[in-house]
Amino acid sequence: MAVETAIAADHLHADPALWIARRPDHLLRAEAVRLAAEGPRGRPLWGTVFAVKDNIDVAGLATTAACPAYAFRPEASAPAVARLVEAGALVMGKTNLDQFATGLVGTRSPHGTPRNLFSPAHVPGGSSSGSAVAVGAGIVRFALGTDTAGSGRVPAAFANIVGLKPTRGLIPTAGVVPACRSLDTVSIFAASVDEALAVARIAAGGASCLARAALPPTWRLAVAAVAPLCAPEVARACEAAAAVAPETITIDATALLEIARLLYDGPWVAERTAALREFLARAPVTIHSTTRAILEAGHARTAVDAFAAFHRLAEVRTEVAAMFAGCDALLLPTAPFCPTLAEDAADPFGHNRRLGTFTNFCNLLDLAAFAVPAGFGADGLPVGVMLLGPARSEATLAPIADFLHRRLATTIGATGLPLPPAASPDTLAPGEIALFCLGAHMAGLALNGELRLLGARFLRPARTAPCYRLFDLGDRPGLLRDGAGAAIAGELWALPRDSLGALLSPSASPIGLGAIALDSGPAVGFLVEAAAVASAPEITALGGWRARLAQR
């Protein structure tokens, strides 16, 4: 029984700083008995035990955000929690965190510091310290955290587990104590990429953009020169991750690092202050000294600072969109190093700031990100890497992140257990259509970035029914239906139905969208008018456009 396993693992781990509120064993067992009596009833998480960061509301448990004086008892659970419970999952308790989710170290709590699973001398990472440790210790199968500056990714790296930072707004933040309200996301900690994605999809109310894609036949990672900013073992892990990619491109990360610094030096510090302004004025002495210093600093930010930062952010967003048109994901370290508790105590601001080097810009630019384990350093500490993509790219990031995870690491957290089997790609989700691609929209070709930015995800290689002819129109293929034709190779992608118009608009006559018969069923794809191929070379015998490109 999952509950008995969770209880036994928690007692064995015996960390008094892990939980802020832990449901008693007898109540957990009683709820497990009730669930067992009900049966699965189609609930995908039936009987699964999970933990919730204590800045997210759970009915029946106080929400404290690690500040006892702030505590209140919510009448209802946050929507994310409620959806997971409706799916059959069972809340074990509320986990410790950096107070008010302000920190990346995991040490800023009056309830103590959860133990780093691999070295008691090092920080566990924060702010979602308890949630990450609970998964990495094998106590719960998954946990909810929050991520505003990397709080759902840095502790995942230090616990040797997966952390998913989803697109802003995909999982509701109602029922979450705000840190920076415009940047906050509910994050997922899990043993594998597939489990994190599946939990996120439920927490997001079944969002079709969280359906899993397949690994494309080719993919490209953007990488940056990060070695000077990292510990040697972290730089080596990033190099190892890049080495398994079919192709990489090198980018200049200067603008990204500039945006990352804005999170602490710019107006978003004032947004943290605004969220807790009344409590800060009423009960300042109840707030952790480091957290209070950060909140008080927000009063010095000006509207001029804000507009200057907003304008620069808009410029960099345009640059980043162009970058993602040319790659499938951006690869970066999750954290540049793991400080010791002594180092953090000696410099609580500097080391915390450095931990956000590669995570801080993600929320400001509204990117999706998976943090995955990437092995261990010579010191025995785990290191991690991130894959980042544009908003709502979780489905296409997932197969690449899972591929890297399985190539670079083999066990879950500190449990020594092997990773669960990889999941199969999801079939068409509600709101998606099957799109057959046979030209520049295919993986690795010139227009594939545009397709991915429209929310498309790769499903599988595909072939038409044997009733088409293929022509070379110079810069693109022309597919013509003809009863005397042959089967033509291409790729099947799932495209959000509301993106179909955007895909069509750049197309010029004589190419247009139409129904295409595949050997496995119908799809939509590009067809050519018969009159346009009268003088074009026929390449049907080659069987597909990639074969034609190979001849050039």
* Cα separations in angstroms, 324 against 231, 369, 448: 27, 13, 10
**For residue 5, how many C-alpha atoms fall within 13 Å in the half-sphere facing its CB?**
14
The DSSP secondary structure of 525-540, one letter per residue, reads EEEE-GGGGTTSPB-G
| SS3 assignment, position 265 | helix
3-state class (DSSP) for residue 444? coil
Catalytic site residues? 53, 127, 151
Q: Report the alpha-carbon distance of residue 426 to residue 457 in Å, rounded.
A: 10
Residue 416 buriedness (CB in 10 A; 0-12 / 13-18 / 19+): exposed
- CB count within 10 Å of CB 399 equals 24
- For residues 114 and 96, the answer to whether their CB atoms sit within 8 Å is yes
For 523, the token pair is 């799809």
Nearby residues of 238 by Cβ (< 8 Å), 6 or more positions away: 223, 226, 230, 331, 332, 333, 374, 385
Q: Answer yes or no: are the C-beta atoms of 198 and 44 closer than 8 Å.
A: yes
Beta strand 90-95 with 49-53 is parallel
For the chain, how far is it from start to end, CA to CA, in angstroms? 60
* DSSP-assigned letters across all residues of 282-296: H-GGGS-HHHHHHHH
Measured CA to CA, the distance from residue 337 to residue 173 in angstroms comes to 30
Distance CA 458, CA 424 (A): 12
